Amino acid sequence: MSLATLSLTQASRLLQRGEISSRELTRAALDSIAAQNGRLNAFLFVDEPGALKQADAADESRKRKAAPSPLSGIPLAVKDVLTVAGMPCTCGSKILENYIPPFTATAVKKLQEAGMVVLGKTNTDEFAMGSSTENSAYGVTRNPWDLSRVPGGSSGGSAAAVAARMACAALGSDTGGSVRQPASFCGVTGLKPTYGRVSRYGLVAYGSSLDSVGAFGRSAQDVAAIFSAMQGSDPLDATAQNLPAGEISLEAPDNLQGVRIGVPKEYFIDGIQPAVEKKIREAIALFEQLGAEIIEISLPHTEYALPVYYLIAPAEASANLARFDGVRYGPRAEAETMWDVFTKTRGEKFGDEVQRRIMLGTYALSAGYYDAFYGQAQKVRTLIKRDFEQAFSLVDAIACPVAPTTAFPIGAHGDDPLAMYLEDVFTLPANLAGVPGLAFPVGFDENQLPVGMQLMGPHFAEAALLRLAHAYQQATEWHLAILPPL
Amino acid sequence: MPYEPVIGLEVHIEMQTRSKMFCACPVVDSVSAAPNTAVCPICAGHPGTLPVVNARAVEFALRVALALGCQINPVSIFARKNYFYPDIPKGYQITQYEQPLAEHGKITLHTSQGEKTIRIRRAHLEEDTGKLTHVATDWESDKRITDSADEAEKQKSGEPANRQTGKSSNEKTGQSGKSYSLVDLNRAGVPLLEIVTEPDFRSAEEVRLYAETLRALVRYLSVNSGDLEKGVMRIEPNISVRPRGSKTLGTKVEIKNLNSFRALERGVTYEIARQSALLGSGRIVLQETVGWDEGRQATYSQRSKEDAHDYRYFPEPDLPPLVIDTAWLERVRAELPELPWQRAQRLERDFGLSAAEVARLVEEKDLGEYFEQVVQAGVSPRLAFAWVTGELTSLMNAAGAGFDFSKVHPKELAALIGLVAAGTINQPTAKTVLAEMFTSGQSAANIVAARGLAQISDETAIARLVAETCAENPAEVDSFHAGKKTVFNFLFGQVMKKAGGKANPQTARALLSQALRQK
Ligand SMILES: [Zn+2]
């Protein structure tokens, strides 16, 4: 059995006992990537020599009993919207082809300081705009459970990498569901932390007020370990919350007595795939068996989340992506005048979806439209936040589906951006409210595709969500399911 | 028909803190520093970077806002101002829009027509842009070589077609023989305070006085060097004219590129005359932005209203609201130094100087402080004023390095003035001595002793020189007695010449007239 099949928690234990070395573990991950990436296209860049060097350093420090953390020596994949000094950062876009950032994202840096081994960069929808990883300029990533299907997105490369045992863990970013939905599609556990809980420094911005850096692992335990190490304040991010860092312990409670879980009626809508609803209901029933109290709740402004998101995120994106002009970095189109250089570079190098959202956002902010669109969207966002505040005065967590469907076939939403936008209908609200959301597998549909449940909690309640999922994973084996042979 | 101008001002003042507004890069002299040497991923707008507010810059801005009597908003909001230009690396400028740092201040000017109060509408923080240098490599000349953060020009579609942008090593365009542009991001991200007035000015003089007062203020507050030529303080008036007595406002024209107080006053005067002439001949004024052409001493059109840009402002999501708590505000207030107008009042009151004299003293902080130290050393305010603003300032100006405290210590100047008062040396000698003090750093007493410059006050000695002079010039003495009184000055000159310039002039004068009366 390859060491690549070890989960982060297992690998950490064996490393600490000295039963395996980081070099062996990293070698196994690199071999797994070499064997599968041609099919899956999960990684855009693999730094084999760098990874082995970091692995050796981790082994060395462990030998000296100076390992910086239990994560030391564990291979990590990083979504290509997070910078790692010296590695390309394309954001899945031609406009950053061959761009090598001179600095490392804070979240990655904290994990590197904990001793983790960065394997390389994973595929993403261009600038994280998409729900299928089909919008990458560098080809679609395939779902390891069914190569004809998408892995979800935009962090599809990271989710697929963890599902396919190419990395013990991976980082993603979540602006409207980009960690949770691919976690669900790929049958792994993925956390979108509270806005501001993890520094955004080095995360190439899409929707700055919505973006958060999240993590993928095989289990809640895996994710808790990564999250503990990367969360916390950062002098380089003014919106990062000044919370003390600290390890989250996941002592599995004997039962969930006293835990109140809310089930929002607005999240069980027409159009939801029956198998998805069935599995979610079953998981809720299990939580009840474990002792939790299940309460039906309402998040009345849920239906506005989608239009609100598609005004705010593109508006912020239209400004965030203005810097890509071909002047200071990235490829530059040749043209006679300065303006032509700008427009030609941007017109040629940005993909359709990115251009669509830039146009949408520019329009939403334009004089005469601002109040009706961006201004109004911010007001409704406040109502959505209030929905959550009210809900969390009644319950400790909210349980619902991650997405209305399981992984869909590649090309299924090709001509229909709106259908694609609906993929995120259950995940967008958490970003608008800034609350944490956790996705984890709760079964399979009729096509043997994973179904994911989402737990949402109050601001900074990541530990509570992780503990609930951990309790669930102690009682079930969905998260241990092995990929079918491909 | 007589016309009346209505003028408002926007002034951009760099807050010359150690580091930039949103990153740790140093604030460097953008004229002398090598291009792109104070740049990091943040101020170069690399993807993934985020701004963090420099609290010191906020404090500098608070000093100015408090000094102007502004209300400080306890919460102010940063916003993004979106536009494309290579000197704005992020594609937007972080500024404050709907909720500025400060509002509703005022400043009082002492004009030739009396006191005049100018209302400050708002003062807000933002970041400066980079600098572009347009290089013309062929016959197409471009007068405006350096684009002084002048975003007006950038927006206009009439941008000369030969302008290209590029990295600092612009091989391609350079080789092709076309003109191109060089980008220097040293200034990108330097903290800026923008101060906007109400349209309260009615003359070019008021505009100049306001700018001078503001410059004195920012120097007093140690937030800015006041070097207009270096662009660290940029003044942009908007001007309209209307028939005198009219209540409605005319069409507004904004002037840019005013790099000195002289250019400011001339530019405003020119624009008032231009607009008045247009209206006078029955034509209309176009709403536009104009630039001041120093060479032609005239304005030229830069951008018309049609090219006005939609900046699509929205709150900056990367920065939480800026909160100024009372404790912080009160600390800054308590640390404010004496302001120029406060000093002026005090000097006028305590030293009996005229308003004009006081104005001269407070214009430059160091000059005023120097003056006070000379007075403290025992010199009368009037004498101190004469020496400090006269001979000493001439020497400083000739040396060309601004007012340098260290050249002649105020106590040394006081000692020199003391030597004159005691009659040890006379006024002309004292000027020579001061010049030597200035260059050598020696004390007045040492110079006087070493060069034997002490004046002759001994009456017997001077009387002897007077007697000799009269004996040697009988014809002149006769013509004096015949009524030609101007001959006195000639004879006096002869006495002083005999004394080698060292005779006490009062004594010499008295003894000479005594001698002539006796004859
Ligand atoms: Zn910088």
Residues of chain A numbered 306-335 and touching chain B (CB < 8 Å): 315-316, 318-319, 321-325, 327-329, 334
> What pLDDT shows up at residue B507?
83
B20 CA distance to ligand 1 centroid (A)? 7
Test A323 with B90 for CB contact under 8 angstroms.
yes
Do residues A199 and B14 make contact, with C-beta atoms less than 8 angstroms apart? no
Among A223-232, A269-278, B192-201, B353-362, where is mean pLDDT lowest?
Answer: B353-362
Which own/partner contact pairs does B164-173 have at CB distance under 8 Å and 24+ positions apart? Answer: B164/A336, B164/A337, B164/A338, B164/A341, B165/A327, B165/A338, B165/A341, B165/B86, B165/B132, B166/A327, B167/A327, B167/A328, B168/B35, B168/B36, B172/A334
Which segments within A305-449 are labelled E, that is strand?
397-401, 437-444
Q: Is the pLDDT of residue B140 over 90?
A: no
Who among A91, A238, A322 is closest to B53 (CB)?
A238
Asked if the peptide bond before residue A154 counts as cis, ω within 30 degrees of 0, the response is: yes
* DSSP letters for B57-73: HHHHHHHHHHHTTPEEP
Q: Give the nearest chain A residue to B93 (CA atoms).
A: A319
> What pLDDT shows up at residue A253?
67
Who among B159, B167, B313 is closest to A327 (CB)?
B167
Instruction: Measure the CA–CA gap between B458 and B507, rounded to whole angstroms.
Output: 9
Strand order in A75-79's β-sheet? Answer: A43-46, A117-122, A75-79, A169-174, A212-217, A189-192, A437-444, A450-456, A397-401, A260-264, A293-297
As a whole number, mean pLDDT of residues B117-146 equals 77
Which own/partner contact pairs does B487-494 have at CB distance under 8 Å and 24+ positions apart? Answer: B488/B512, B488/B513, B488/B516, B491/B516, B494/B469
Q: Identify the domain containing residue B364 by its residue range.
A: 340-450
**Per annotation, catalytic residue among A7, A21, A132, A154:** A154
Do residues A215 and A162 make contact, with C-beta atoms less than 8 angstroms apart? no
* Whether residue B405 sits in one domain with residue B306: no
Percent of chain B with pLDDT over 70: 89
Instruction: Measure the CA–CA gap between A266 and A270, rounded to whole angstroms.
Output: 10
Residue-by-residue pLDDT tens, chain A, 486 positions: 689 999 999 999 999 999 999 999 999 999 999 999 999 999 999 999 999 999 999 999 999 999 999 999 999 999 999 999 999 999 999 999 999 999 999 999 999 999 999 999 999 999 999 999 999 999 999 999 999 999 999 999 999 999 999 999 999 999 999 999 999 999 999 999 999 999 999 999 999 999 999 999 999 999 999 999 999 999 999 999 877 666 777 776 678 999 999 999 999 988 899 999 999 999 999 999 999 999 999 999 999 999 999 999 999 999 999 999 998 999 999 988 888 999 999 999 999 999 999 999 999 999 888 888 999 999 999 999 999 999 999 999 999 999 999 999 999 987 787 778 888 999 999 999 999 999 999 999 999 999 999 999 999 999 999 999 999 999 999 999 988 775
Instruction: Measure the CA–CA gap between B142 and B154, rounded to whole angstroms.
Output: 15
Decide if B300 touches A, using CB distance below 8 A.
no
Question: How buried is B186 (Cβ within 10 angstroms: 0-12 exposed, 13-18 middle, 19+ buried)?
Answer: buried
* Whether residue B365 sits in one domain with residue B296: no
Nearest CA to B166 out of A341, A319, A330, A102 is that of A341
Instruction: Measure the CA–CA gap between A73 and A16, rounded to whole angstroms.
Output: 10
Examine the residue annotation and report whether A21 is marked as an active-site residue of this protein.
Answer: no
Q: Which of B262, B281, B315 is the last residue of a domain?
A: B315
For A110, A158, A409, A466, the CA distances from A75, given in Å and listed in that order, are: 14, 12, 30, 22
Do residues A152 and A181 make contact, with C-beta atoms less than 8 angstroms apart? yes
What element of type H or E holds A390?
Answer: helix A376-394
Decide if A205 touches B, using CB distance below 8 A.
yes
* Whether residue B372 sits in one domain with residue B233: no
B69 CA distance to ligand 1 centroid (A)? 32
pTM: 0.88
Do residues B164 and A337 make contact, with C-beta atoms less than 8 angstroms apart? yes
Q: What is the dihedral of CA B209, B211, B216, B220, to 10 degrees?
A: 140
> What pLDDT shows up at residue B307?
66
Decide if B90 touches A, using CB distance below 8 A.
yes
- pLDDT tier at B176 (50, 70, 90 boundaries)? low
Q: Tell me whether 0.85 is exceeded by the ipTM.
A: yes
B162 domain-assigned? no
Who among B48, B49, B317 is closest to A209 (CB)?
B317
Nearest CA to A373 out of A364, A381, A361 is that of A364
Q: Which of B450, B480, B503 is the last residue of a domain?
A: B450
Q: Give the nearest chain B residue to A237 (CA atoms).
A: B50
Tell which CATH classification among 3.90.1300.10, 3.40.50.1100, 3.40.50.920, 3.40.50.2000 matches the domain A3-255+435-480: 3.90.1300.10
For A310, B76, B316, B322, the CA distances from A379, given in Å and listed in that order, are: 14, 19, 16, 21
Q: How many CB atoms lie within 10 A of CB B468?
A: 13
> What pLDDT shows up at residue A227?
96
For A30, A63, A254, B267, the CA distances from A56, given in Å and listed in that order, are: 14, 10, 40, 69
Token pair recorded at residue B386: 């004469």
User: What's B392's DSSP letter?
Assistant: I
* Whether residue B265 sits in one domain with residue B351: no
Domain boundaries, chain A: 3-255+435-480
B51 CA distance to ligand 1 centroid (A)? 10
Q: Give the nearest chain A residue to B170 (CA atoms).
A: A327
A105 contacts in B (CB within 8 Å)?
48
B45 contacts in A (CB within 8 Å)?
323, 328
| Best residue in A106, A126, A236, A327 for a mutation probing chain B (most B CBs within 10 Å) | A327
Decide if A17 touches B, using CB distance below 8 A.
no
Question: How buried is B460 (Cβ within 10 angstroms: 0-12 exposed, 13-18 middle, 19+ buried)?
Answer: exposed
> What pLDDT shows up at residue B177?
59
- pLDDT tier at B168 (50, 70, 90 boundaries)? very low
B307 domain-assigned? yes
* Whether residue B415 sits in one domain with residue B507: no
Q: How many CB atoms lie within 10 A of CB B347?
A: 23
What element of type H or E holds B464?
Answer: helix B459-472
* Whether residue B501 sits in one domain with residue B379: no
CA angle, corner B342, sides to B336 and B348, nearest 5?
A: 150
Inter-axis angle of helices A22-40 and A8-17, nearest 10: 150
* Whether residue B443 sits in one domain with residue B465: no
The residue with greater pLDDT, B85 or B309, is B85
| Best residue in B140, B165, B181 for a mutation probing chain A (most A CBs within 10 Å) | B165
Decide if A372 touches B, using CB distance below 8 A.
no
What element of type H or E holds A27?
Answer: helix A22-40
Who among A103, A238, A336 is closest to B318 (CB)?
A238
CA angle, corner B78, sides to B74 and B84, nearest 5?
A: 160
Decide if A383 touches B, using CB distance below 8 A.
no
Strand order in B180-184's β-sheet? Answer: B146-147, B131-135, B180-184
Decide if A96 touches B, using CB distance below 8 A.
yes
How many angstroms away from the CA of B25 is the closest CA of chain A?
Answer: 13
> What pLDDT shows up at residue A38?
97
Instruction: Measure the CA–CA gap between B513 and B491, rounded to whole angstroms.
Output: 10
Instruction: Measure the CA–CA gap between B229 and B207, rounded to whole angstroms.
Output: 17
Q: Which of B450, B469, B489 is the last residue of a domain?
A: B450
B180 domain-assigned? no
- SS3 for A85-137 is CCCCCCCCCHHHCCCCCCCCCHHHHHHHHCCCEEEEEECCCHHHCCCCCCCCC
B80 contacts in A (CB within 8 Å)?
319
Instruction: Measure the CA–CA gap between A120 and A89, rounded to whole angstroms.
Output: 10
Decide if B82 touches A, using CB distance below 8 A.
yes
Percent of chain B with pLDDT over 90: 46
Tell me the pLDDT tens digit for each residue of B270-285.
Answer: 999 999 999 989 898 9
- pLDDT tier at B301 (50, 70, 90 boundaries)? confident
Nearest CA to B371 out of B408, B333, B337 is that of B408
Tell me the pLDDT tens digit for each residue of B246-276.
Answer: 888 889 999 998 999 999 999 999 999 999 9
Examine the residue annotation and report whether A265 is marked as an active-site residue of this protein.
Answer: no
> What pLDDT shows up at residue B216?
92
Examine the residue annotation and report whether A79 is marked as an active-site residue of this protein.
Answer: yes
B90 CA distance to ligand 1 centroid (A)? 12
Decide if A125 touches B, using CB distance below 8 A.
no
Q: Which amino acid is at B65?
A: A
Token pair recorded at residue A304: 């506005």
For A198, A258, A437, the CA distances from A462, given in Å and listed in that order, are: 12, 18, 8
Residues of chain A numbered 240-299 and touching chain B (CB < 8 Å): none
- pLDDT tier at B415 (50, 70, 90 boundaries)? confident
Classified as helix, coil or strand, A230 is helix
Question: How buried is B48 (Cβ within 10 angstroms: 0-12 exposed, 13-18 middle, 19+ buried)?
Answer: buried
B41 CA distance to ligand 1 centroid (A)? 6
- Number of domains chain B contains: 3
B52 contacts in A (CB within 8 Å)?
235-238
- pLDDT tier at B441 (50, 70, 90 boundaries)? confident
Test A319 with B163 for CB contact under 8 angstroms.
no
C-alpha atoms less than 13 angstroms from C-alpha of A142 in its C-beta half-sphere = 12
> What pLDDT shows up at residue B147?
47
Compute the residue count for chain B.
Answer: 519
Instruction: Measure the CA–CA gap between B190 and B385, rounded to whole angstroms.
Output: 38
